[in-house]
Each structure stands twice: as structure tokens, then as C-alpha cells.
Amino acid sequence: MIDVKHIAKLARFGLTEKEEEKFKKELSAILDFVAKLNEIDTKNIEPTAQVTGTINVFGNDETNLICEDKQIKEDILKNAPAKEGRYFKVKRVLE
Amino acid sequence: MRLNELTIAQAARGLKRKELSSVELTQTVFEQIKKRDLKVKAFLSLDEKGALSSAKEIDEKRAHEDILGGLAGIPVAIKDNILVRGLKCSAASKILENYVAPYDATVISKLKEAGAVIIGKTNMDEFAMGSSTENSAFFATKNPYDLQRVPGGSSGGSAAAVAANETIYALGSDTGGSIRQPASFCGVVGLKPTYGAVSRFGLMAMASSLDQIGPITKTVGDCQTVFDAINGKDKLDSTSVDLKKEIRNTKFEIKNLRIGMPKEYFAQGLDEHVDKLVKEAIKKLENLGARVKEINLPYSEYALACYYIIMPSEVSANLARYDGIKYGYSEFDKAGDLMEVYLGSRHHGFGAEPRRRIMLGTYTLSAGYYDAYYLKAQKVRTLIEQDFEKAFKEVDVIMTPVSPTPAFKFGEKIDDPLKMYLSDIYTVSINLAGVPALSMPCGRVGGLPVGLQIVGPQMGEPLIFGTALALEQNS
């Protein structure tokens, strides 16, 4: 049985008791549905991560235009919920 | 005919001949929005000032030089998960309610370069998760054909805006059917391009191996015009690719066309009226000289299950960025420590569907379950892709319904996630295989539009357009 409380913690959500019940029911139904894949033998099948066939696309070691645009930097910071000067403000991480 | 009812091709012709101006065209579109959008509710935000000023700019340019492209001066609506610099971009989520895009998505840079007039941002299911726009954190969009019914989703706002003539065309995004299903419900044309054909840079990532941006338009020709303007390899999206020239230049002839009808898509669960209309459309092409053949896509029945492992897994990784620190809704001030910032911001910022999918993906990627779910689904994905590869050795395009039924009523499926997921049963396999597919109207049932899905091989957009144009011209 799926431990919704644990999963919610891993996913960094708060969860009320009522929500826990609801999600438990819904997620179990979906997991039952996707279990259908077990009908297929995939022993010698390679997994597909993406379909274009491109492998390790490397770029030159240079900043793109967006990183160089001062206005964009400012606009990015404008969206920050908490900031100080040119920095994002975060709660203390180390005690 | 009022100006807002024009297609791109008609508007471009009028603009070129100076029979109308971009300002007039844009004004008429906004008049229609003011009149009609109170009911339809396709838009989350509008930029009338910005739109009129770019329209004016284009008109002035046109007065001086004649060589402007086919999209210059023509209004477009953008789905609210695509960044347009300086405009709000919320993805219909409370967690991004006041987020202002700091830069343009690549598709937007390309449209602006082509002189497009961006009129506003359209409603959608939150973070593109849903099939009805009922998951929007703000309000649901109504189907212009019947206001009691959903416009489809997740690009429901874009499709409804085009259908209600509140714009000339729109952009949407499609991860499992989110352009095609609303296009079919609203009686317009929508294309999910080949994976990688259009840059995803500046599209809010949902499931990165499946997401594609595409056009929603009134005609097939318009769809091609927009696709031509937005496709191409982009340095800022390393998964983007160029369409191969040899395919692009293939001459299309209907008498050489081989159409495949997958048995699995015309089976139980399909509305009989939809079945009939789709088959009639295929018959029309047969009468024009195409050859029709029944084919098999044996792993089709596993596509939805495969999709509902791969998509949520990628969602759970992509949506980790909404943490209450970098942008959007935050409980920074309320929280005691960092963990509380995360828990509170994400609990109250996300709606139920994103949380459902994030949790599902967190579970399927977690230690001990990865092999059983995610890896297993990736292997099944290989089989689904091979189904299409094999099929395209025998046929040029595949034709199916877009959705099992026409537009459904509000509330009909919203309380049962699995039931809602089933409305994507004919579209998700296309994204898993990475192939392109177009939805176009093929008739109506009880006044409601029905869509035909035309699927091509990878990079097969020219074939799809050729087929769709032939059908449109003979409808």
C-alpha cells in the first residue's frame, strides 16, 4: 500500500488528514491501472528515454545572451519572494 | 465577414493589398474579446496596449517596405505556459499567479521576428495537466459551441479563443494530447509537431521527453504557415532538431498516399457517431485516390498506462523548481525553517492535479520502485515506438479519432482522475513515439465538432499537411 504521507514528504508537500485519505484512494487506483504493464515481457527490450536519437549534445563553454542581459537578471530577481540586494533570501540551512 | 473571423492567409492578403491595417485587425479582435470572452473565458490576461503598439509598428513598416512575412501584423494568442517577456505567465497556477516572464521563449522570439501581434495569454489546466481546463486555478473556459461543455484541455483557452474568433490563431502545448483534443472539441486545427521539431526553450516544462509547442488555427494552411515559422533547431534546447530537407521537399500526391487505420483505435469505447465521421473522412481520401489499409498497433492498449508512469515521473522532477524561493507563491514569511517554506508553499500553491501527479512520479521514481515502474515504462515505450516504426513501413499516414467522444459536460469527469485520463487514449501514444499528429474537424455530432487525427512518421509534417489540405479542400 502506498504510504502517501511519506511520499508527500519526499515531494515536499504539506498534507492534511483529509487529503491523505483522498490521495491514497486516487493514487492506488492509478497504480492499479498502470500495473497493466506487467502483462508485457520486456526482458530484452532497451528502455527509451527520448526519441530524437541525439546523444550528448554539447554546447560551447560560453554564456548565452540571456545570462549576459542585465535587465533579464534584474527581472528574474524581481520575481523572488524574498531577496536582499542581488541575492535570493533563503532560511538558514546550517545550524 | 468581420475582420476577426479572417484566417491568417486571408488577413495576410488583405494586409499586403492594404485593404486593412494591422491596427484595425487587432482592434476588431479586442472588440470580439470584450463581447464574447465574458462567456467563453478563454483568456487569463490581455495586453491590448502592447498589441496595438506592435500593430502600429508593423503598419508603419509596411508603409515603407513591402517585404513582410505572412504572419506580420496578425494577432496571436499564447497559452499561459509559454514565456512572453514582460507579461504574466502563470500556467494557470496559484503558485505562479504573479510571475512575470523575464525573457521570451524561442517560439515567441521567432513570432516577434515575423511581426506577430501578441494579444494575450490563454487559460489552461494548471501546468498543462488536464483535459478540460477545469484544473485551472482561476476559472474554467467554456466551449464556444456549447457553453455547458468543456473546450478540452489542456490548451482549452487557445482552442476556444480561435473557435470564438477572439484571435486569428494561437499557440498551445501538447504533452499527451493537449493541443489535439481541445482542437477537436472546438472544431479547429491543431498540430503536435515531431518531438524536437519546435524548441521548448521558454515553455514551462511538464514532461520534458514528451512536451511540444504547436499551432492552433482555423485552417490547415494556416497551421502550416505557423509551423514553418516556429520550427527549427535551437541552441537553447539541446533536444531540438532540424526537419530533414529531403522530406520537406517531397512532392505530395494523393494517389500515392497509403493510409493506415489501426484496428485498436476503432474499438470498444469509441462513440459510434465519432467512429462514423472519422471513417467517412478516410473514405473521402480513398475516393480521391488514396489507398486505405487496416493496420495493427498491438501495444496501443498499454500506451495510457505507460504514459501515466513516464509523464508523472518527469513532472515530479520538473515541478521541484517551484519551491517558494526563486519565484511565485511563497510562505517564506510564515515559515520557521527551510522545510516549512517548501511544505507550505507547495501545499497551498499547487492544485490537486499537479500534486497528484507529483506524488505519483515521486513514488514511481523512489528507491525500490524505479525498476518496477519507470524503467518498465521506458521499455514499453520502446515497444510503442517500434509499433509506429513498423506501421510506417507499410503506410504513409495513420488516421484515427482524436478523442472517443465529442466535448463532454462540466463536472462529468473531474471527480474521477482515471476517467478524465481516458479522454487522451488516442493521443498519448503519439507523444510516446515522438511522431507528429494533426487534429482537424471532420464533422459534427449534435452540433458538437468531431476531430480526425492524422499521424505521420517522425519529421513527416509535410505529409500530414498534404493529406489534411487534400481533405480540407474536398470537404
The per-residue pLDDT for B421 is: 87
**Does the annotation count B345 as an active-site position?**
no
Say yes or no: B345 and B325 in one domain. yes
Phi-psi category of residue B130: left, alpha or beta, with phi > 0 → left and psi -120 to 50 → alpha: left
**What percentage of chain B has pLDDT greater than the value 70?**
98
**B372, B389, B412 - which closes a domain:** B372
- CATH code for position B66: 3.90.1300.10
CB contact under 8 A, B375 and A47: yes
The per-residue pLDDT for B247 is: 58
Q: Using CB atoms, which residue from B308, B340, B378 is nearest to A47? A: B378
The per-residue pLDDT for B259 is: 98
What's the pLDDT tens digit per position in B73-98? 999 999 999 999 999 999 999 999 99
**B372, B392, B420 - which closes a domain:** B372
Active-site residue (options: B41, B79, B121, B192): B79
Secondary structure (3-state) at B48? helix
CB contact under 8 A, B383 and A40: yes
Best CA proximity match to B325, nearest among A24, A77, A3, A22: A77
- Provide the residue ranges of all domains of chain A, joining segments of one domain with +: 4-39
Interface of A with B in 35-54 (CB under 8 A): 35-40, 42, 45-52, 54
Say yes or no: B266 and B390 in one domain. yes
Q: What span, in angstroms and rounded, lies between the C-alpha atoms of B281 and B289?
A: 13
Say yes or no: B171 and B222 in one domain. yes
What's the pLDDT tens digit per position in B276-312? 999 999 999 999 999 999 999 999 999 999 999 999 9
What is the dotted CATH code of the domain comprising A4-39?
1.10.20
Say yes or no: B471 and B457 in one domain. yes
Say yes or no: B140 and B160 in one domain. yes
Complex-level ipTM: 0.94
What's the pLDDT tens digit per position in A43-89? 999 999 888 888 888 877 777 666 778 899 899 999 999 999 989 99
The per-residue pLDDT for B245 is: 59
Secondary structure (3-state) at B169? strand
A to B CB pairs, distance under 8 Å: 173
Q: How would DSSP label each residue in B201-256?
A: TTBPPSSTTT-EEEEEESSHHHHHHHHHHHBS-BTTBTT--PPPHHHHTPPP-GGG
pTM higher than 0.95, yes or no? yes
pLDDT at B248 exceeding the cut of 60: no
Domain range for B347: 305-372
Q: How would DSSP label each residue in B257-290?
A: -EEEEEGGGSSTTS-HHHHHHHHHHHHHHHHTT-
The per-residue pLDDT for B131 is: 96
Say yes or no: B391 and B362 in one domain. no
Q: Which residues of B touch A32 (CB under 8 A)?
A: none
Contact B349, A9 (CB under 8 A): no
What's the pLDDT tens digit per position in A27-36? 999 999 999 9
Say yes or no: B225 and B313 in one domain. no
Angle CA(B43)–CA(B46)–CA(B48) in degrees, nearest 5?
145
What's the pLDDT tens digit per position in B149-169? 999 999 999 999 999 999 999
Strands B397-401 and B43-46: unpaired
What's the pLDDT tens digit per position in B421-441? 888 899 999 999 999 999 999
Q: What is the mean pLDDT of residues B359-370?
A: 94
Secondary structure (3-state) at B128? helix
Contact B185, B143 (CB under 8 A): yes
Say yes or no: B261 and B357 in one domain. no
* Overall number of domains in chain B: 2
Contact A91, B332 (CB under 8 A): yes
Say yes or no: B434 and B388 in one domain. yes
**B315, B341, B372 - which closes a domain:** B372
User: Touching check for A21 and chain B: CB below 8 Å?
Assistant: no
Say yes or no: B339 and B448 in one domain. no
pLDDT at B244 exceeding the cut of 90: no
**Does the annotation count B276 as an active-site position?**
no
Say yes or no: B70 and B132 in one domain. yes
Distances (CA, A) of A45 to B217, B376, B381: 39, 9, 10
Say yes or no: B315 and B170 in one domain. no
Secondary structure (3-state) at B171? strand
Q: Name the pLDDT band for B250 (thresholds 50, 70, 90).
A: low
Residues, chain A? 95
